[in-house]
Chain A
Amino acid sequence: MADIVEPVAVALDNATVAFRVAGDRVYTAVERASLSVAHGEFVAIVGPTGCGKSTLLNVAAGLLKPAAGAVRIFDQPLNGLNRDAGYLFQADALFPWKTAIDNVAIGLEIKGAPRAMALERAQGWLTSVGLGAFGTRYPHMLSGGQRKRVGLAQVLIRDPKILLMDEPFGPLDAQTRQIMGNLLLELWTADRKAVLFVTHDLEEAIALADRVVIMSAGPGARIIGDWKVALPRPRDISEVRMEKQFHELHREIWSVLKDEVMKGYAQSSQAAEAS
């Protein structure tokens, strides 16, 4: 195979993120994290609760500035917000006063697209996330899974080159998560965007991603492992979990992750006792 150098979509180079808490104390959330996501690559970040996975994602989005280190997007240093990225938030981020179709169309409208055209494209995206008939509903009339679908359409209609996802399926039930996972893979296969997907669920990470990155427990979380997932594509989330290769990889990664999860758990219970 010819060596084609794929452009690196997201590159974090020794990024350190610190917050000022209560006066002069400084809390270091992430310490010297280096990570790169190639164009078209699906990378999942897994770590114990509160380890700073979302922080890392916010750095890649440009919502947070690292205290030290560099962020490069397609080989350009990132200044301000990452305009190449679409961000799917963990919490509800839809505009509650807009209908589903208006929520999706807004991404084009603010770029100056004519409303009729924006609505037509939005309808197309709603249909591809399976909500073609729900355009006139307001977010509160939709279920949690449906809101995530609208959120996905809202992000994808702008055709971002990079997709940042912060435990997007976290609040959903197990069945809906699998359906959403398959939907995501299906949409991603159509035009491979670079994806940075944060989750606390190792199984979900292996089933979806090309690479799984493990973070240590915070504070001062580091990246402590990086595994390639060689499972063939296209994958079906529920079927891929039955495969032997999946189990071996899961066991291997879990042996590392387990210690961090216990550490993170001990720290959070200590913190709870101290307060």
Chain B
Amino acid sequence: MSRLTLLFWQLMVAVVALSLWQFFATVPVFGRMLLPPFFFSTPVDVASQIYKWFATGVIWKHLMITLWESVLAFVIGSVGGVLVGFWFARQPRVAAVFDPYVKMMNALPRVVLAPIFALWLGLGIWSKVALGVTLVFFIVFFNVYQGVKEVSTTVLDNGRMLGMSERQLTRHVYWPSALSWMFSSLHTAVGFAVVGAVVGEYLGSAAGLGYLIQQAEGVFDVGAVFAGMFVLSAFVILIDFGVTLVERRLLVWRPAPVARD
């Protein structure tokens, strides 16, 4: 399939889906509305809601808040995950001692932490950042831990035979290996940073995309709920595109990055 044909069919899927939605939400079939607009809204209403948000500029403030929370969660969670993952991998005894607690914390569904964070950190951005950090941290942590553990013994022996000290091995072998594993989990980690931010906003906040959706739901404005979801999807796709660009630049030496989560 050529690029153009592919694009055509991809567009067709959207057109057909939206048309069906619009049709069944406005035209009664056998005297009954299959998609009552009260519950399902209509594509036209959703589009006009999105347009209104951008035209009035209301959306920018919420987007910026969510973006800022995601970025903070991602950066703090990644830095923590890299440092702790690296430390544990190089100190097997420390890792063995903490192992059951790490497993326990990772087993906990993070959403239940949101009320606690709201209590501790208030309704501002930091409770959302904290929720995102707990998600991002573990993904990066496990990847880096694995990456350092699985450094090829041949490459390590080669480093030693070339005369590297333990410190030089850390710098030239363990560290690049750990970072490459971190970058291969980048997409998942960024995704979870956004999830943390939005879920946190949804459960209690005064701004952000999650807040917008939650508010709309509170007044049964289904059109605005859908509008919020569309904006959120576009937002994540944009961020993911940015991540792909960064990854391409940083992982030139890798034949094919394999992600783990």
CB of A61 within 8 A of CB of B161, answer: yes
Cα–Cα distance between A215 and B225 once the two chains are bound (Å): 76
CB of A140 within 8 A of CB of B253, answer: yes
Cα–Cα distance between A61 and B162 once the two chains are bound (Å): 11
Contact with A along B155-172 (1 / 0, CB 8 A): 101111111110010001
Closest residue of chain A to B180, judged by CB? A97
Chain A binding surface SS class? loop
Q: How many chain-A residues does the 8 Å CB contact rule pick out?
A: 28
Does A71 count as interface, using CB distance less than 8 angstroms?
Answer: no
CB of B160 within 8 A of CB of A63, answer: yes
Task: Using A96-B254, A97-B253, A98-B253 as known contacts, say yes or no to A91 and B162 having CB atoms under 8 A apart.
Answer: no
Does B31 count as interface, using CB distance less than 8 angstroms?
Answer: no
Chain A residues lying within 8 Å of B162, measured Cβ to Cβ, are: 106-107, 110, 154-155, 158
Chain B residues lying within 8 Å of A94, measured Cβ to Cβ, are: 155, 158
Task: Using A93-B158, A154-B162 as known contacts, say yes or no to A110 and B168 having CB atoms under 8 A apart.
Answer: yes
Cα–Cα distance between A97 and B183 once the two chains are bound (Å): 13
Chain B residues lying within 8 Å of A195, measured Cβ to Cβ, are: none
Contact with B along A100-135 (1 / 0, CB 8 A): 000000110011000000000000000000000000
Does A95 count as interface, using CB distance less than 8 angstroms?
Answer: yes
Cα–Cα distance between A180 and B159 once the two chains are bound (Å): 23
CB of A121 to closest CB in B, whole Å: 14
Closest residue of chain B to A61, judged by CB? B161
Task: Using A97-B176, A110-B172, A140-B253 as known contacts, say yes or no to A92 and B163 having CB atoms under 8 A apart.
Answer: no
Does B252 count as interface, using CB distance less than 8 angstroms?
Answer: yes
Cα–Cα distance between A138 and B165 once the two chains are bound (Å): 24
Q: Which residues of A contact B (CB under 8 A)?
A: 61, 63, 81-83, 85-87, 89, 91-99, 106-107, 110-111, 138-140, 154-155, 158
Q: A83-B163, A87-B157 are in contact. List 17 more A-B contacts (CB 8 A).
A: A63-B160, A82-B161, A87-B161, A89-B158, A92-B152, A93-B154, A95-B176, A96-B155, A98-B253, A110-B162, A110-B163, A110-B172, A138-B253, A140-B253, A140-B255, A154-B162, A158-B162
A-B CB proximity, top 5 nearest: A93-B158, A138-B253, A87-B161, A97-B176, A140-B255
